[in-house]
């Protein structure tokens, strides 16, 4: 689904002495089936923006569209139900949301809640548990008996079982070791590649993930869009990135990584000078 934000602003605690403008003058257009990474310093508005994409927050100004659905100041809860069916969210530490008696029941909760029959919910839940690498012998276990990494996978399967078209990931591997991190990132990428109707928006501090998986990068600064483009285009702007507090050594490393990965002649022509 195509995603747009048009003249979007979001202010926390509007019309109070604590008013805080977190997002302003924000315009973006993402094509169907795109893997987008959002980077930027802490407090730049990344989480605020992604929460607008399924109506957890509603814009104080402007509008967001997800396919044919619109989210604006007065969008009703009833309409948000349909949007939440299409836009899945995986926050940091999603395993904190696990609650049911067994792994399988926990994953089935979402699809049943969104109108699937028990049989359909069971089918899709098993499919997603397989995708995330959870073996059938764990289905009847309590999710709380699993390891941290397994709990994270079950929680992700629960979001995928709703069959979203857009998956929002806000630091989905926080707290995992490098191996766990890579495992989850690969599973999510595999899910994305599984259908050309699927999109991912990943909020990350890890530039390496942005360059490795994303086709499009959005750079945010102080609640505004600072830069956007392909990883090659964005990481070539080292001076601008440095000015935004997103360091030089890393961008140089990432350009190398991209060059090695693609062997793309275009990247070889990118010029940068070390300060
Ligand atoms: P990021 O995800 O890039 O770290 P956020 O979207 O969380 O940025 O925050 C953007 C700005 O909004 C920051 O200045 C932050 O302090 C502020 N903010 C975030 N959440 C709240 C909230 N619940 N109440 C008030 N201000 C908030």
Q: How confident is the model at residue 124 (pLDDT cuts 50, 70, 90)?
A: very high
Q: Are 7 and 70 in contact (CB under 8 A)?
A: no
pLDDT at 236: 87
Ligand 1 neighbour 164 (Cβ under 6 A): no
The contacts of residue 50 (CB under 8 Å, 6+ apart) are: 38, 89, 168, 170, 201, 203
The contacts of residue 179 (CB under 8 Å, 6+ apart) are: none
* Ligand 1 pocket test, candidate residues 15, 26, 48, most atoms within 8 A of CB: 48
Report CA(206)–ligand 1 centroid distance (Å).
Answer: 19
pLDDT at 275: 29
Evaluate if residue 268 carries a pLDDT over 90: no
143-158 per-position pLDDT tens digit: 999 999 999 999 999 9
Rounded to an integer, the average pLDDT of 79-97 is 92
Report CA(43)–ligand 1 centroid distance (Å).
Answer: 5
Ligand 1 neighbour 45 (Cβ under 6 A): yes
Closest CA to 210 of 254, 179, 175: 254
Place of tokens 């949301």: 97
Residue whose CA lies nearest to ligand 1 atom number 12: 22
Evaluate if residue 65 carries a pLDDT over 80: yes
Q: Are 167 and 88 in contact (CB under 8 A)?
A: yes
Give 34-85 as a DSSP string. -EEEEE--TTSSHHHHHHHTTTSS--SEEEEEETTEEE-TT--HHHHHHHHH
Evaluate if residue 274 carries a pLDDT over 50: no
241-262 per-position pLDDT tens digit: 989 988 655 666 666 667 666 6
| Residue 179 DSSP one-character state | H
Report CA(22)–ligand 1 centroid distance (Å).
Answer: 6
pLDDT at 173: 93
Q: Which two tokens stand for residue 203?
A: 């909020």
Helix/strand/coil for 218: strand
**Percentage of residues in the chain with pLDDT exceeding 90?**
80
Q: How confident is the model at residue 213 (pLDDT cuts 50, 70, 90)?
A: very high
């Amino acid at each position: 689904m195509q995603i747009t934000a048009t003249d979007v602003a979001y202010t926390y605690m509007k019309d109070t002495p604590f008013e805080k403008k977190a997002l302003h003058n924000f315009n973006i257009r993402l094509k169907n089936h795109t893997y987008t990474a959002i980077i930027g310093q802490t407090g730049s508005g990344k989480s605020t923006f992604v929460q607008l994409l399924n109506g957890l927050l509603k814009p104080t100004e402007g509008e967001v569209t997800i396919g044919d659905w619109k989210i604006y100041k007065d969008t009703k809860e009833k309409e948000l139900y349909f949007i939440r069916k299409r836009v899945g969210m995986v926050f940091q530490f999603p395993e904190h949301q696990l609650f049911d008696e067994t792994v399988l029941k926990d994953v089935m909760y979402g699809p049943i809640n969104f109108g699937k029959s028990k049989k359909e919910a069971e089918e899709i839940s098993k499919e997603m548990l397989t995708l995330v690498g959870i073996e059938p012998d764990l289905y009847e276990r309590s999710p709380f008996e699993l390891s941290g990494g397994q709990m994270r996978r079950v929680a992700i399967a629960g979001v995928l079982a709703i069959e979203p078209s857009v998956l929002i990931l806000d630091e989905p591997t926080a707290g995992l070791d490098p191996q766990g991190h890579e495992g989850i990132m690969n599973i999510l990428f595999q899910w994305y590649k599984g259908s050309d109707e699927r999109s991912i928006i990943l909020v990350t501090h890890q530039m390496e993930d942005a360059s490795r998986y994303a086709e499009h990068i959005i750079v945010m600064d102080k609640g505004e869009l600072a830069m956007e483009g392909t990883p090659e285009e964005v990481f070539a702007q080292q001076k601008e990135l440095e000015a935004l507090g997103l360091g030089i050594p890393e961008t140089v490393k990432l350009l190398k990584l991209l060059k090695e990965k693609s062997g793309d002649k275009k990247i070889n022509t990118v010029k940068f000078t070390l300060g």
